[in-house]
Structure 1
Amino acid sequence: MAAAPRTEMRLGLRLCSLRMTAELRHLRAFLAIADAGSVTSAAAMLRMSQPALSRTLRQLEDHMGARLVDRTTHRLELTTEGRHFRDKAAGAVAAVDEALDPARLRPWPLRLGHAWSAFGRHTTPLLRRWKETFPQTPLELLRVDERTAGLLSGKTDVALVRAPLLPREAEGLLGEWLCNEQRVAAVPADSELAAHTGPLNLAALVHHPIALNTVSGVTTLDLWPEELRPSPDTAVLVANTDDWLGAIAAGDAVGVSTTATAEMHPHPDVVYRPLAGAGDVPLMLVWREVPMGSGRPGHPAVPQLVRVALEVLAEDEGRTDAPQGTR
């Protein structure tokens, strides 16, 4: 009688095949539990039974070799490992959703936000260089009257930011310093201040109402030393650059901005003069950190935009006729 064939190899293959591989459904289940704070609510969101959702979570934890959710409290809490894994899971799910979105088969524009004055005199060179180098990725320049120029509201992917950000605004953002812009005074063209051909100083402005952009501007009355500080009662408060320029052109106020505004917003009724002793304003290129807890991915072309912006600045600095700046 012939001996039975050996089956160890076949058995071994079968045992290996029983090992679970994490799938997208496991990540979605975990994220639903993390967001809802309970299996009951998460199961309702996913339209599946609680036992099935609990099994899915256990399978994921077995695969990761770690407990991701603490079930000992009335409200489920993520463990330390769970909190670390959440960002990774959210990024992975968002990336898959992004890849499977039919709309993404078309060019994905990179939305560059600014609250005012964009990249100053470098704006056009940046747009032209980008179009020549990355024609497959349109670069859309958007003005958004917000401190983060649309980053926090999701209107932009990357932004040129001058206004100092509050801690809650800066959370989850990354940035690259581009340059420092010199401050300038903006005065009515028919005013005595406009007759000065040289630089003005802060003391020369205190006897005039100051136009302040309270939404996205970089100028506050704290710019003046306490002994020279203008009264807030005389300030002209505006919400954007258009109204700021309008108030100055009408002779209702004077203002303080940067050289970028003088370059991007020439006005027949406004004269810009260098402002001595007022310090420079840093210009940052800012974008969302990746991955984010929300699962929204950043635009993959952001690093290329940073590189192109720095190249444009470097080339401008090499010109003998370039205005003086600080980098």
Structure 2
Amino acid sequence: MNSPTDVDLRMMRALVAVVDEGTFTDAAVVLGVSQASVSRAVAALEGALGARLLQRTTRHVGLTVTGRRVLAHARRALDEVAALRRVAQDGGGELRVGYAWSALGRHTTAVQRRWAAEHPGSALVLVQSNTRTAGLADGIADLAVLRRPADDDRVAGVVVGLERRYAAVAATDPLARRRRVRLADFAGRTIGVDALTGTTSEELWPSGVAPAGTREVHGVDEWLTLVAAGQAVGITSEATTRQHPRPGVVYRPVEDAPPVAVTLAWWRDDPHPQLAALRRLVVEAYGASPGTVPNTLGGT
């Protein structure tokens, strides 16, 4: 029994060519095949779909009612296949970089501008995805900026910079009046934590000065809303302070907290051809800032 799986691109191309050119002969010329081949392809399509698509006379070839509907779908299918080929073949057309919270922080715009200047035929597109791989596993990103391990053996990465940790507190919180804070200042407090993509857990604190507990959030907006309401305090990377200023939230550096490693990640078995170029720009951006890693830092 025939089924939709019997339909292939050759059949759809033949139908579209016959309709566009008006005759089987002209369609054969456009496709670079014989007239008999075009006739067989259209007949095979009609057989696979179980419906007549063309009305044939000695002078004219026209679409049936069903043929008109099938033609519209065939054109869309061929367009989608052409788009897939462009994506696969045009590695320089667009580089999509995923991130969970804060892209590259204060370096984001500078890296985008340098990329545009050095790669005029390629767009650097930043895509937010609150997932462990920041869009890699979902197929929406070619590379990803991570600030915690991806926990996925398929993903490789290299550290491209370090960022200081900052506390986020409500503007009415006593800690907001200080210029900087220490981890011990959070003893007995509730910490807002994004367990999926955040950079903070109770393991950050030494024994004896741990917070009272954590409150789970899902993404940066929920985290900021919680902090602004005074329902929790937070600790995050410097990038968050640059990308997400929020009325009612004050950021203060945590002077005794270890820095956050920023990792550029990719599929281990399929490195993107522009990986090295972007890595260089990002490392240079972070390398120009105090307290960041040198270009020779190894991978994760």
- 1:303 and 2:281 are equivalent in the alignment: no
Q: Deviations over 1:193-252 (max 9, x none)?
A: 10112x2111211232211112200101121123222233xx221010111111101111
Letter of the 1:279 partner, please give it.
P
Distance change (3 Å), C-alpha of 1:196 and 1:153 = same
SS, match of residue 263 in structure 2: strand
Cα distance in 1 for residues equivalent to 2:84 and 2:106: 39
RMSD between aligned residues: 2.4
* Over 4 Å off, 4+ runs: 97-100, 102-107
- Say which of 281, 290, 313 aligns to 2:260: 281
SS, match of residue 106 in structure 2: helix
Gapped regions of structure 2 (runs ≥ 5): 7-80, 294-300
Residue of structure 1 equivalent to 2:61: none
Q: Deviations over 1:108-148 (max 9, x none)?
A: 32110111111111000011111111121111101100121
Residue of structure 1 equivalent to 2:245: 266
Cα distance in 2 for residues equivalent to 1:208 and 1:231: 5
Residue of structure 2 equivalent to 1:136: 121
Letter of the 1:180 partner, please give it.
L
Cα distance in 1 for residues equivalent to 2:86 and 2:232: 51
Residue of structure 2 equivalent to 1:82: none
SS, match of residue 313 in structure 1: helix
SS, match of residue 178 in structure 1: strand
Q: Give the deviation of 1:162 after TM superposition.
A: 0.5
Q: Deviations over 1:277-310 (max 9, x none)?
A: 221111111111234xxxxxx4322221112222
* Match runs of 1:167-246 below 5 Å: 169=152, 171-197=153-179, 199-232=180-213, 235-246=214-225
Letter of the 1:148 partner, please give it.
T
Letter of the 1:325 partner, please give it.
G
Distance change (3 Å), C-alpha of 1:215 and 1:284 = same
Q: Deviations over 1:156-179 (max 9, x none)?
A: 11011101232xx1x132222111
Residue of structure 1 equivalent to 2:146: 161
Q: Give the deviation of 1:98 after TM superposition.
A: 10
* Kept in 2: contact 1:98–1:104 (CA 8 A): no
SS, match of residue 164 in structure 2: strand
SS, match of residue 225 in structure 1: coil
Gapped regions of structure 1 (runs ≥ 5): 1-44, 47-96, 292-297, 318-323
Cα distance in 1 for residues equivalent to 2:149 and 2:85: 36
Distance change (3 Å), C-alpha of 1:103 and 1:161 = closer
Distance change (3 Å), C-alpha of 1:211 and 1:141 = same
Percentage of identical aligned residues: 37
Cα distance in 1 for residues equivalent to 2:291 and 2:241: 14
Distance change (3 Å), C-alpha of 1:208 and 1:133 = same
Letter of the 2:209 partner, please give it.
L
- 1:101 and 2:85 are equivalent in the alignment: yes
SS, match of residue 309 in structure 1: helix
Residue of structure 2 equivalent to 1:312: 285
- Say which of 219, 236, 256 aligns to 1:257: 236
